[in-house]
Amino acid sequence: MLIAIPDVLDAAALARVRALVDGGDWVDGNVTSGAQSALAKRNRQLPEDSAAAREAGAMVLDALGRSPLFIAAALPLKVFPPLFNRYEGGEAFALHVDNAIRMKRGTDFRIRSDLSATLFLEDPDRYDGGELVIEDRFGPQTVKLPAGHMVLYPASSLHRVTPVTRGTRTAAFFWIQSMVRDDGERRLLFDLDRSVQALAADRGQGDGEVVALTGLYHNLLRRWADA
């Protein structure tokens, strides 16, 4: 499932995050690359243990916790602390797939990467190129969202970032381990949840069909979740 999640960061939060990351010390983006990605990746990144990355990442995590759409789509069990990257001057990331297991250096924190997320921190009219191209089951999907908006997609997808030929593309990126490992099962639960919410808004939470469908949702989640 590929889904855009609007307004993860409002204007004030976006400005605070940008102030933090813009003042950070950027390094070669391959500091977090696996063997395959190191051959394909040309960008810069904030060191994950830097004060700027930690503080900005905490703000992103707080915002995600307040996003019902993110929670419904991802059903998150664990979220890797957000990282921050920057592309300019022709920098790009060729076609690759994310590592199945992500580990935070110097700790025992690790996750299975079920979902990948890119949170855009620069408006699209301020740079050329820099599209995130995701190889979906229906063909390539090109994503370039407004600042503060995020795209969520299966980490198993082949994807790339096209060369940035004008301006600078700044973004946060991270991975999620879902309570529901299978993408097809997550998609069904998400669609059911959205339908239940729409029906409840029309009929009220106490309606018999709403109650029955809510029970179905939770029983499917109980069957499929690993929490």
Tens-digit pLDDT profile for residues 47-94: 999 999 999 999 999 999 999 999 999 999 999 999 999 999 999 999
Assigned fold of 183-224:
DNA Excision Repair, Uvrb; Chain A (4.10.860)
CB 4 within 8 A of CB 151: yes
For residue 37, the model assigns a pLDDT of: 55
What confidence tens digit (pLDDT) does each residue in 100-127 have?
999 988 889 999 999 999 999 999 999 9
Q: How confident is the model at residue 29 (pLDDT cuts 50, 70, 90)?
A: confident
Which segments of the chain belong to CATH 2.60.120.620? 3-178
What is the C-alpha to C-alpha distance for residues 35 and 44, in angstroms, rounded to an integer? Answer: 17
The pLDDT of residue 35 is above 90 = no
Q: Which amino acid appears at position 107 of this protein?
A: T
- CA–CA dist 77, 186 (Å, integer): 13
Q: What is the pLDDT of residues 3-21, one digit of tens each?
A: 999 999 999 999 999 999 9
Those residues with Cβ within 8 angstroms of residue 124's Cβ, 6 or more apart along the chain or in another chain? 144, 145, 146
**Known binding-site positions for Fe cation:** 96, 98, 159
Give the annotated binding-site residues for 2-oxoglutarate.
169
Which pLDDT band, with edges at 50, 70 and 90, does 216 fall under?
very high
Q: Give 113's DSSP letter.
A: -
CATH 4.10.860 residue ranges for the chain: 183-224
What is d(CA 155, CA 176) in angstroms, rounded to the nearest whole number? 9
- Position 102 scores a pLDDT of 94
According to CATH, the superfamily of the domain at 3-178 is q2cbj1_9rhob like domain (2.60.120.620)
Contact assessment for residue 166 and residue 129, using Cβ atoms and an 8 Å cutoff: yes
d(CA 51, CA 136): 36
| Radius of gyration for the chain, computed over Cα atoms and rounded to the nearest angstrom | 18
Residue numbering of the annotated binding site: 96, 98, 159, 169
